[in-house]
Amino acid sequence: MKILKETMKLLLEINNAIYDDLKLEFLYHSNKLEGSTFNLEQLNILLDEDKIIGEHSVDDVQETINSLKLFDFVIKTIDEELAPRLLKEYHSLLKTNTIDSERGFAGVYKKIPNKLRGVDIETAQPYEVEEKIEELLKMEINSIEDIANFHQRFEHIHPFQDGNGRIGRYLILRQCIENNIDLIAIDDEYNKEYKKALYIAQKDNNINLLVEILKKCQTRLDEKLSKYENAIEELKNK
């Protein structure tokens, strides 16, 4: 499902189920990929009633609250150039009041080399990050193949001490909206396939499988949001 940035900004400004359902769908799966213990019902209650239901770690609660705010911020700033400053703002908002923030890791590039758990991928050294990110942000995005390539390069750099996966998936969403590409929310159903495809893309510089997974996620999200298709078309026409 394609949603133009003008339509998305309008959806943000009005109280509506379309925006909230997209937000919940995106955040539930993205956060779950990182081990969040919030289920969809608990996340919905947090969004609607500002209440925490269930047992969760303090950091999981804080990052979940932050992720709801960051989703809105990404939409609000979608007309701004995706520059290092804005990228760091995204990360700062995601990590506000967390342990990483207390350690001085929020909103700044990594200070300590980080290693991807369970895979033989070498991420960029801290001193390499600034140059590599500036180069990456110059990349032109026109297609889902471009998005896949950008994503694997971003995750390979791993610019922040933590939170790279979530920031990377926000960037996927932003790029879809900016370029009128069917929205992508990495669905937990394809968790293992996504991680395998991302590994292959980083290890062999082959994005074919990753593109295939992103397309599956597009189809899955289309199915879940299909009930809003007519309403979105009406908003687009207006």
Q: What is the pLDDT of residues 208-236, one digit of tens each?
A: 999 999 999 999 999 998 898 888 888 87
User: Which pTM does this prediction carry?
Assistant: 0.94
CB 119 within 8 A of CB 196: no
Which superfamily, per CATH, for 5-110+118-237?
A: Fido-like domain (1.10.3290.10)
Report the chain's mean pLDDT, rounded to a whole number. Answer: 94
Q: For residues 214 and 216, give the distance between their C-alpha atoms in angstroms, rounded to a whole number.
A: 5
Amino acid at 148: A
Q: pLDDT digit string (tens) for 128-178?
A: 999 999 999 999 999 999 999 999 999 999 999 999 999 999 999 999 999
Helix spans in the chain (H): 5-13, 17-33, 40-49, 58-76, 84-95, 99-102, 126-136, 144-157, 164-178, 191-204, 208-225, 229-237
CB 201 within 8 A of CB 148: yes
Q: For residues 162 and 102, give the distance between their C-alpha atoms in angstroms, rounded to a whole number.
A: 13
Closest by Cα among 74, 75, 72 to 47: 72
Q: pLDDT digit string (tens) for 4-49?
A: 899 999 999 987 889 999 999 999 999 999 999 999 999 999 999 9
DSSP code of residue 143 = S
